[in-house]
Amino acid sequence: MGVKIVETGLRDGHQSLFATRMNTEEVLCALKELDQVGYHAIEIWGGATFDACLRFLNEDPWERLRLAKKVCKKTKLQMLFRGQNILGYRHYADDVVEKFVEKSIKNGIDIIRIFDALNDIRNLECAVKATKKYGGECQIALSYTTSPVHTVQYYVELAKEIEKMGADSICIKDMAGVMMPTAAYELISALKKNTKLPIELHSHCTGGLCEMTYLKAIEAGVDIVDCALSPLSGGTSQPCTESLNFALQGTEYDPKLNVAMLNAAAAKMAPVKAKYLANGLLNPKVLSVNANIIKYQVPGGMLSNLINQLKQQDASDRLDEVLAEVPNVRKDMGYPPLVTPLSQMVGTQAVLNVLSGERYKMVPKEINEYLHGRYGRSPAPVDEEIRRKIIGDDKVITYRPADDLKPEFEELKKQYKGIAKSDEDVLSIALFGDVAIKFIEQRNEDAIPTVIHVEA
């Protein structure tokens, strides 16, 4: 059997390349063709796509999903789900997590990819259970990073636990694109030996390694890899779908994708890319290789955030010091993988440590919460001396953080019954507060259900 491909261009592709700004019409423009390609799945929804719809595009993210489902009749639709954070940035109560999973599946999602930034599987439990309950396919993603504790054995143990939890497949999520080809071979080989679940690899081209890493992973027996249609591939995005398909043609790994349909889809998507290049949202810089991310082991998005933060403080010349401080903060915090929200938290702390002239003199609220155990269990123990300096004698929780949260959904539904027209609206409000309320009020006033014509 050949390698299966998941098309990520409509979620991660435009998220990585131009701040998730494709509107629904653009997302749907080549979906009919993509549905005929022979993919394992098409990724279409996630935190940033949902957020950008409400915040920047004045569009209902639920409507995008329903329209996509109408067009995409053969291929499974996939979404990315941040465990107990759902698509937001804090922990939500279990009833909101469950309702969000239920509504995602009912509106068209087939596969839910669930991950936790810290790989604390307690933060996945609720979403996993709900996915099974509502008949969705449940994939658990492990956040990939390098550190003294993130060994092959560490990932093998996690994979075994995930199999026990009832996941249908496992994804290795290398959000920073730092996985070396040899590391991929070693890790995938070990996972294939220790679990029966299909293994998927997700990485990014940012550091210039990804195609090599995918090839070694494929040789080690990986079942599925994530690729993006050519106009939405490369740079900070995924490797190109068409190229990988060609590279594997005639081998035992041949994905056997429909080349004519790929070409037809790419031809429709090319003008969309051209538009974002022309209006400046797609910066050509993100299309070239950034080998610094291998040296510093930080995701591309985090690197550009740090550069922006320092620019605002008029301290651009301190970038090297900040980048040298990032691994120190990470070590103090017990080596969290640098993925949302931990990448922002560790980055901000590194900036504060350098600019204030004294380490941990200033500490953001989120790092303070993290040290109280409110994000979950850190991969390695945090530095106790630093913890005590910051939180004093405060109690550190060791149970699942969401156990402290009371049900929220019915309360919100009551509170917003004047504007929320559906449970989906209530969920949008639960996750994105004022941003969602502003959008829903405007939509209700305009009374236009949708202006997008769908060719079914």
Mutual angle of helices 61-71 and 423-446, in 10-degree steps: 100
Q: Mark the segment that binds Co ion (CB under 5 A) among 10-18, 22-30, 49-57, 403-411.
A: 10-18
Angstrom distance (rounded) from CA 91 to CA 397:
14
Structural tokens at position 303? 């690197």
Tell me the number of residues near Co ion by CB under 5 A: 1
For residue 152, the 8-state DSSP code is H
- Residue number of the CB closest to Co ion reads 12
**332 is a site residue for Co ion (CB under 5 A):** no
Exposed, middle or buried by CB within 10 Å (0-12, 13-18, 19+), for 73?
exposed
Structural tokens at position 401? 């953080």
- Contact flags string 427-456 toward Co ion, x per CB under 5 A: ------------------------------
User: Which CA distances in Å does 104 have to 69, 99, 170, 444?
Assistant: 11, 8, 20, 22
Residue 10 CB, nearest approach to Co ion (Å):
13
Rank residues 12 and 125 by Cβ distance to Co ion and give the closer one.
12
Contact by Cβ (8 Å): 150, 120: no
Which residues fall within 8 angstroms of residue 287, CB to CB, at 6 or more apart? 17, 234, 235, 236
Amino acid in position 187:
L
Residue 300 CB, nearest approach to Co ion (Å):
10
Rank residues 140 and 429 by Cβ distance to Co ion and give the closer one.
140
Residue 64 CB, nearest approach to Co ion (Å):
19
Residue 202 CB, nearest approach to Co ion (Å):
6
Residue 205 CB, nearest approach to Co ion (Å):
11
Residue 311 CB, nearest approach to Co ion (Å):
25
Three-state secondary-structure class, residue 357: coil
Residue 403 CB, nearest approach to Co ion (Å):
30
Q: Mark the segment that binds Co ion (CB under 5 A) among 12-20, 141-149, 191-199, 426-434.
A: 12-20
Q: State the Cα angle at 310 between 18 and 146, rounded to 5°.
A: 70
Amino acid in position 121:
I
- In 47-96, beta strands by DSSP E: 76-81
Q: Mark the segment that binds Co ion (CB under 5 A) among 11-19, 39-47, 58-66, 117-125.
A: 11-19
Rank residues 214 and 409 by Cβ distance to Co ion and give the closer one.
214
Rank residues 40 and 377 by Cβ distance to Co ion and give the closer one.
40
Amino acid in position 73:
K
**Contacting Co ion (CB under 5 A), which of 7, 12, 51, 137?**
12
Rank residues 173 and 387 by Cβ distance to Co ion and give the closer one.
173
- Contact footprint for Co ion (CB under 5 A): 12
